[in-house]
Amino acid sequence: MDGQYGDSTRTVRAVSFPAEPGSPVAPSPVTASTYHLSPDESEPLDVYGRYSNPTWRQLESALAALEGAAAALTFGSGMAAITSTLRVLAKPGSTLVVPADGYYQVRRYAAEYLAPQGIKIIQARASEMCEAAGAADVVLAETPANPGLDVVDLHRLGLVCRSRGATLVVDNTAATPLGQQPLSLGADLVVASATKALSGHSDLIAGYVAGSNPDLMAAVERDRLLAGPILGAFEAWLVLRSLGSAGLRFERQCQNARALAVMLRGHPAVRWVRYPGLPDDPSYPVAADQMKRFGGLLAVEFESAAAVNALVERSELVIAATSFGGIHTSIDRRARWGDEVSDGFARFSLGIEDTDDLIADIERALR
Ligand SMILES: *Cc1c(COP(=O)(O)O)cnc(C)c1O
């Protein structure tokens, strides 16, 4: 059983498919092949690329296995997965809670597209989620919240949602299924961007929804079919190819994040550091309870914007980039994107470089 294996074994197994004599080990992308209709008209599989294709199904079965879900659906981006899910769940007259301190485009979508349709939007920070859920029909939580890295108590939030019949959706982008499995903690659906640590090479955009409630999954699949926010078959194949090394990559990213958190914590150039895996972090008690690994992101406040820029300039290994989760260590000064943070606030995304090299490089750059 997969339960007995470690995560690197599980990621490798998630992308191992039964061999068929004469077929390639890893299927090449199915893009515009001729879809031969089956004479059996009750079998609508693969009649057209927006319905489904074999590469999607392989990726979806791998993602479902990693999330501990009955099923998964791929999307053309994380936002496509999130907005499709919200279109299905949030009906006119209903109340939707979205993270105030999470991924900013989600708030924009809620304000610009859902609110005008008569959906009441409540914005709540990670620490306010459980209280806000008391008045909600649908709750979208993000934990650890990007970029501040506060953690939401998913078990408690799940109980609040269940007690009032609200649907709980959790954005699992930052933690990945190797860091936490929200469905096992009480979420009804997981939404995520596979653009970040899961695919990990900063070379594609993809998203997915995972869940075990067949009605919810069928409704999301229906929206994908009708609205069409699909993942290209080539990207689906690339995610699948990348997934096999996700266990190794994520392990190193988490190790590097922890080492950097420990180094920066007492550093004179740093005002504060947030990492849910540091035992004195305010999020640690909940994070230690619900997370298996604490992730590759680090939130740091330096003195000023100039201090962050100087670090990038002097470092040989840290690059300035706004996405995260890739194999290269990067830093993003979030105030430039309008996040409500100070000018010196930066989010590190740890790559897979050797830990000692990275720490020495950043120490040197800060000197
Ligand atoms: C990047 C991100 C998204 C959006 O994903 P895309 O693949 O860029 O559309 C959603 N949620 C979180 C937490 C993210 O970091």
Across the chain, mean pLDDT equals: 92
- 146 CB less than 6 Å from ligand 1? yes
pLDDT of 9: 84
Q: Please, which pLDDT band fits residue 306 given cuts at 50, 70 and 90?
A: very high
Cα-Cα-Cα-Cα dihedral sign, residues 69, 74, 78, 79: negative
Q: How far is the CA of 23 from the centre of ligand 1 (A)?
A: 35
**How many independent structural domains does the chain possess?**
2
Q: How far apart are CA 148 and CA 317, in angstroms?
A: 23
The reply to whether 114 and 142 lie within a common domain is yes
Q: Please, which pLDDT band fits residue 39 given cuts at 50, 70 and 90?
A: confident
Q: What predicted TM-score, i.e. pTM, was given to this entire model? A: 0.93
* 150 pLDDT more than 70: yes
The reply to whether 227 and 259 lie within a common domain is no
User: Which of helix, strand or coil describes residue 174?
Assistant: coil
Query: CB within 8 A of 306, min separation 6: which ones?
Result: none
φ, ψ (nearest 5 deg) of residue 314: -85, -20
The reply to whether 209 and 142 lie within a common domain is yes
Q: How far apart are CA 340 and CA 318, in angstroms?
A: 24
Pocket test for ligand 1, best of 193, 198, 199, 205 (most atoms within 8 A of CB): 193
Structure tokens at 325: 């989760």
What is the residue range of 338's domain?
244-364
* 153 pLDDT more than 90: yes
* 163 pLDDT more than 90: yes
* 36 pLDDT more than 70: no
* 37 pLDDT more than 80: no
Query: CB within 8 A of 4, min separation 6: which ones?
Result: none
Q: Which atom of ligand 1 is nearest to the CA of 207?
A: 7
- 199 CB less than 6 Å from ligand 1? no
The reply to whether 148 and 287 lie within a common domain is no
Q: CA angle 296-300-301, nearest 5°?
A: 170
Exposure of 181 by Cβ count < 10 A (0-12 exposed, 13-18 middle, 19+ buried)?
Answer: buried
pLDDT of 339: 82
Structure tokens at 321: 């980039």
Mean pLDDT for the stretch of residues 250-268: 97
Which residue among 173, 206, 240 closes a domain?
240
Region for 133 from its dihedrals, namely left if φ exceeds 0, alpha if ψ lies in -120 to 50, beta otherwise:
alpha
The reply to whether 264 and 162 lie within a common domain is no
Q: What is the domain-level CATH number for residue 175?
A: 3.40.640.10
The reply to whether 71 and 201 lie within a common domain is yes
Mean pLDDT for the stretch of residues 69-74: 98
Q: Which of 43-57, 81-95, 140-154 has the lowest mean pLDDT?
A: 43-57
Q: How far apart are CA 258 and CA 90, in angstroms?
A: 38
pLDDT of 22: 59
- 290 CB less than 6 Å from ligand 1? no
Q: How far apart are CA 256 and CA 366, in angstroms?
A: 17
E-only strand ranges, the chain? 71-75, 95-99, 120-124, 138-142, 167-171, 189-193, 207-211, 270-274, 297-302, 319-320, 330-333, 345-349
**Mode of pairing for the β-strands spanning 189-193 and 207-211:** antiparallel
Under 8 Å between Cβ of 211 and 81: no
The reply to whether 45 and 183 lie within a common domain is yes
* 16 pLDDT more than 80: no
Q: Which residue has the higher pLDDT, 270 or 52?
A: 270
Q: Report pLDDT digits (tens) over 193-238.
A: 999 999 999 999 999 999 999 999 999 999 999 999 999 988 999 9
CB atoms within 10 A of CB 363: 14
- 78 CB less than 6 Å from ligand 1? yes
pLDDT of 340: 83
pLDDT of 31: 47
The reply to whether 291 and 200 lie within a common domain is no
* 313 pLDDT more than 90: yes
Q: Please, which pLDDT band fits residue 32 given cuts at 50, 70 and 90?
A: very low
By alpha-carbon position, which residue is closest to atom 5 of ligand 1? 78
pLDDT of 68: 97
